[in-house]
Structure 1
Amino acid sequence: MSDVSITFDRVTKAFGAFRAVDEVSFALPRGALVTLLGPSGCGKTTTLRLVAGLELPTGGRIEIEGKDVTALAAAERKIAMVFQSYALFPHMNVLENVSYGLLVNGARKASAESEALAMLKTLGLDGLGQRLPSELSGGQQQRVAVARALVLRPKVLLFDEPLSNLDARLRRRVREDIRDLQKKLDLSVVYVTHDQQEALAVSDLVCVMRAGKIAQMGTPNALYEDPADAFIADFMGEANVIQGEVLGPNRIALGGIALDTVMRAHPPGAAQIAVRPESILLQPEGSPGLPGRIQRAAFLGQTREYEIQTPAGELFVVTPAASPAFAPGDAVSCAMQRVIPLRPAA
């Protein structure tokens, strides 16, 4: 069996003159959870639909576990998809919803219900088979949709914005459920979201898309700590992107002030510098660092947020709540613990 789950080879999808997906190539490893991430209109949902067979490419080749599926219909691909709306049948109970696909594929009713009950138990829905979808919580409905997909034993499971209908606390719990299930069953999963935190939390690999192309692909840690350019730095979480100068290894100048820091290798000279809000240490005025003055301060329970005016421009800073607190008008020093010199955007 191939170690690659899905291969795109110069895949293009055009709608008239508009290329929603523009010669995209990648090889996604089997048993991994890969997230397609990007702003609205970047091509991530069209890419997911191309994997599913809900759209056929204008050009290029698509393989699933080594088999060419470019021209195959969705029903021939052994792929299951969990939609944003869950798309549960409201007039059917949970057991009927989960067994429906098996019955359509020719399974006997007793066999289909037995497999459906086993899958419900696997997903922690034991005993809920006779309930209607309207009698379930949002998280339970989401797991029913996953059970209905998994009972068909797909080669790849696709998620299209699966948590967008849930509140913040439930989103965190359900995304953990999805990740645990993916690991437990060794599933190959492609997951679409526009939420950066969600992508960082669940993914083995993140594929950031922009204007129909792959802007950067890598582990969550690599994209956050080593973004290719200003677009990735700003999209993968908060980042202060300011103009500066690389003076040498671990030494930069911001606002005309030389600073020691930790950074990746970069040629000396003018450069855009990305600084994560949590990588700035606030200290009293006169300490080593970039001088600044607090413009706004907010207490958020576990953290404090600051907007600070400096010679390099305005900085957004996040500190632990246990750190010393500063008030608007206070003069401070901003020590750059780690910065990211950026390559020019492609």
Structure 2
Amino acid sequence: MTADAVVFERVSKSFGAVRAVDDVSFALPRGALVTLLGPSGCGKTTTLRLIAGLELPTRGRIEIAGRDVTRLAAAERRIAMVFQSYALFPHMTVVENVAYGLVVGGARRTEAEAEAGAMLASLGLEGLGQRLPAELSGGQQQRVAVARALVLRPEVLLFDEPLSNLDARLRRRVREDIRDLQKRLGLSVIYVTHDQQEALAVSDLVCVMRSGRIAQMGTPTELYDDPADAFVADFMGEANVIAGEVLGPGRIVLGGTTLEAAMRDHPPGPAQIAVRPEAVSLRREGEGLKGRVSRAAFLGQTREYEVETDAGTIFVVTPASAEAFAPGEAVICRLERVIPLRG
């Protein structure tokens, strides 16, 4: 049995003159939660629909659990999808919603509803089977949609922007529920979002897409700490991208100032330097990049600053407990870690 849940081999999908997915190849491992991340129009949702069989590729080959499904319709693939809107039937009870796919597939109603009840219990929804969807919270509706997908025992479970309809606090709780469930059941999950924090929080692997292609794929830590280029650096969280020069290991020049900072290996010479906002500390004196605070904001747990320097404007985030600075104050920016970008 293959170790890969989904394999794309040079897959493209065109809509007229527009190529939404452009010569994409990847192997997504079984039992992992893989997020397709990118801005609107990058191709992530089309890629998900290609996996689901809701779109067929213009060219290339798609494999699910070792089986060539390139030309198979959605009903012929062992996949299930949780839609952004949940798509629950409002006139059916919760247990009827979950059992629906089994009944359509030929199972007896009593058996299907018994299996649906067991799945609801496993997701913490025991006792809610006779309610209508409108009688549930947003988080409960999300779990019903997941139960309806899981009861079909899919090879791959697909999520299309599953948290976009929830408020911030509920979104955090439901994403934790999805991650816990995925780990507990060893599910192969493909998850689409445009939210970087969401991707960092739930993923084993993140596939960042841009203009129908894969910009970079790796673990959340790899993409955050070792981005391939300025696009990935800025998309995977905030980043200050500054033109500078690498002098050697741990030594760079920014805005005419020679600085020492932890950094990955990079050949000496001109380079784009990415600096994470939290990798900058502010001081009133000492060695570092001189600047002046142009904006300061208190956000409860953190403080945000914009600092004007000879290298350009630097966005800085510090803990709320750190020393505070007011607009107009002269400061020294000490860069704890920088990322010279390749290419």
Same fold by TM-score greater than 0.5:
yes
1:70 counterpart SS class: coil
Using the TM superposition, give the Cα deviation of residue 99 of structure 1 relative to its aligned residue in structure 2, in angstroms.
0.4
* Cα distance in 2 between the residues matched to 1:105 and 1:14: 32
* Cα distance in 2 between the residues matched to 1:145 and 1:187: 16
* Cα distance in 2 between the residues matched to 1:87 and 1:103: 17
- Structure 1 counterpart of 2:311, which letter? A
Aligned to 1:247: 247
Aligned to 1:169: 169
1:9 counterpart SS class: strand
Aligned to 1:140: 140
* Cα distance in 1 between the residues matched to 2:306 and 2:63: 49
Using the TM superposition, give the Cα deviation of residue 136 of structure 1 relative to its aligned residue in structure 2, in angstroms.
0.5
* Cα distance in 2 between the residues matched to 1:113 and 1:271: 61
Using the TM superposition, give the Cα deviation of residue 163 of structure 1 relative to its aligned residue in structure 2, in angstroms.
0.1
* Cα distance in 1 between the residues matched to 2:295 and 2:40: 31
Aligned to 1:44: 44
TM-score scaled by structure 1?
0.99
Using the TM superposition, give the Cα deviation of residue 70 of structure 1 relative to its aligned residue in structure 2, in angstroms.
0.3
Aligned to 2:17: 17
C-alpha RMSD of matched pairs (Å): 0.5
Using the TM superposition, give the Cα deviation of residue 97 of structure 1 relative to its aligned residue in structure 2, in angstroms.
0.3
Using the TM superposition, give the Cα deviation of residue 229 of structure 1 relative to its aligned residue in structure 2, in angstroms.
0.3
* Cα distance in 1 between the residues matched to 2:110 and 2:72: 31
Aligned to 1:296: 295
Using the TM superposition, give the Cα deviation of residue 110 of structure 1 relative to its aligned residue in structure 2, in angstroms.
1.1
Aligned to 2:238: 238
The gaps in structure 1 that reach 5 residues or longer are none
The gaps in structure 2 that reach 5 residues or longer are none
2:35 counterpart SS class: strand
* Cα distance in 2 between the residues matched to 1:316 and 1:336: 12
2:56 counterpart SS class: coil
Using the TM superposition, give the Cα deviation of residue 16 of structure 1 relative to its aligned residue in structure 2, in angstroms.
1.2
Q: What per-residue deviation string (whole Å, max 9, x for no partner) do you get for residues 22-47 of structure 1?
A: 11000000000000000000000000
Q: What per-residue deviation string (whole Å, max 9, x for no partner) do you get for residues 262-310 of structure 1?
A: 00011111111000000001111x3110001111111111000001001
Residue 260 of structure 2 corresponds to residue 260 of structure 1: yes
TM-score scaled by structure 2?
0.99
* Cα distance in 1 between the residues matched to 2:270 and 2:116: 61
Using the TM superposition, give the Cα deviation of residue 17 of structure 1 relative to its aligned residue in structure 2, in angstroms.
1.7
Residue 174 of structure 2 corresponds to residue 200 of structure 1: no
Residue 67 of structure 2 corresponds to residue 67 of structure 1: yes
Q: What per-residue deviation string (whole Å, max 9, x for no partner) do you get for residues 112-151 of structure 1?
A: 0110000000000000001110110000000000000000
Aligned to 1:156: 156
- Structure 2 counterpart of 1:57, which letter? P
- Structure 2 counterpart of 1:217, which letter? M
Using the TM superposition, give the Cα deviation of residue 256 of structure 1 relative to its aligned residue in structure 2, in angstroms.
0.3
Aligned to 2:329: 330
1:238 counterpart SS class: coil
* Cα distance in 1 between the residues matched to 2:76 and 2:121: 28
- Structure 1 counterpart of 2:337, which letter? R
Q: What per-residue deviation string (whole Å, max 9, x for no partner) do you get for residues 64-117 of structure 1?
A: 111100010101101000000000000001011000000000001111011000
- Structure 2 counterpart of 1:144, which letter? V
Q: What per-residue deviation string (whole Å, max 9, x for no partner) do you get for residues 44-69 of structure 1?
A: 00000000000000100000111100
Using the TM superposition, give the Cα deviation of residue 329 of structure 1 relative to its aligned residue in structure 2, in angstroms.
1.1
Using the TM superposition, give the Cα deviation of residue 328 of structure 1 relative to its aligned residue in structure 2, in angstroms.
0.8
* Cα distance in 2 between the residues matched to 1:250 and 1:176: 38
1:316 counterpart SS class: strand
* Cα distance in 2 between the residues matched to 1:23 and 1:255: 40
Aligned to 1:191: 191
Identity %: 78
Residue 178 of structure 2 corresponds to residue 182 of structure 1: no
Aligned to 1:86: 86
Using the TM superposition, give the Cα deviation of residue 164 of structure 1 relative to its aligned residue in structure 2, in angstroms.
0.1
1:50 counterpart SS class: helix
Q: What per-residue deviation string (whole Å, max 9, x for no partner) do you get for residues 193-218 of structure 1?
A: 00000000000000000000000000
